[in-house]
């Protein structure tokens, strides 16, 4: 099962956060948003199919996020958690920790914003379009 989200980068993308990465529906980004990779997302966790969300609630589920921006691709792998709600209507957060709130779409991620290739981050800072594909197995 998969869910697809489109967003775009912004000049303030720095991707320096050490434990999370985020996409948001907001149409702005301040320099303080060091985990945010893309803005103006066309969907949010609240838009995900409920069957997809239910599959993500399995603690044994593997969740993979593939991010494509221009000529760059990044893959982040994490896992599901029984407390995942995916009800937020503003942003998605992937976490390296086990913390869960209504924005969380994966825990135990093997990468955070700071771990992403800097050429990928530079493309986002130049406003590249992002396609994010979440897959659960």
Domain map of the chain by residue range? 2-136
Nearest CA-CA partner of 21 in 61, 59, 78: 78
Q: What confidence tens digit (pLDDT) does each residue in 95-129 have?
A: 999 999 999 999 999 999 999 999 999 999 999 99
CATH homologous superfamily of 2-136 equals mth639 domain like (2.60.120.630)
Per-residue pLDDT tens for 71-102? 999 999 999 999 999 999 999 999 999 999 99
Spatial separation of the C-alpha atoms in residues 13 and 114, rounded to whole Å: 11
Looking at residue 41, its pLDDT comes to: 98
Query: Strands 91-95 and 104-106, how do they pair?
Result: parallel
- Percentage with pLDDT > 90 across the chain: 99
pLDDT for 70 equals: 86
pTM over 0.85: yes
């Amino acid at each position: 099962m998969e869910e697809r989200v489109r967003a775009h980068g912004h000049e303030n993308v720095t991707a320096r956060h050490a434990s999370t990465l985020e996409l948001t529906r907001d149409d702005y980004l301040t320099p303080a948003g060091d985990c945010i990779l893309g803005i103006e997302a066309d969907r949010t966790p609240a838009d995900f199919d409920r069957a997809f969300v239910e599959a993500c609630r399995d603690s044994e589920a593997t969740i993979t996020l593939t991010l494509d921006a221009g000529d760059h691709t990044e893959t982040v792998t994490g896992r599901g958690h029984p407390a995942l709600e995916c009800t937020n209507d503003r942003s998605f957060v992937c976490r390296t920790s086990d913390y869960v709130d209504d924005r969380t779409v994966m825990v135990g991620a093997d990468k955070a914003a700071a771990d992403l290739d800097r050429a990928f981050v530079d493309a986002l800072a130049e406003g590249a379009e992002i396609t994010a594909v979440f897959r659960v197995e």
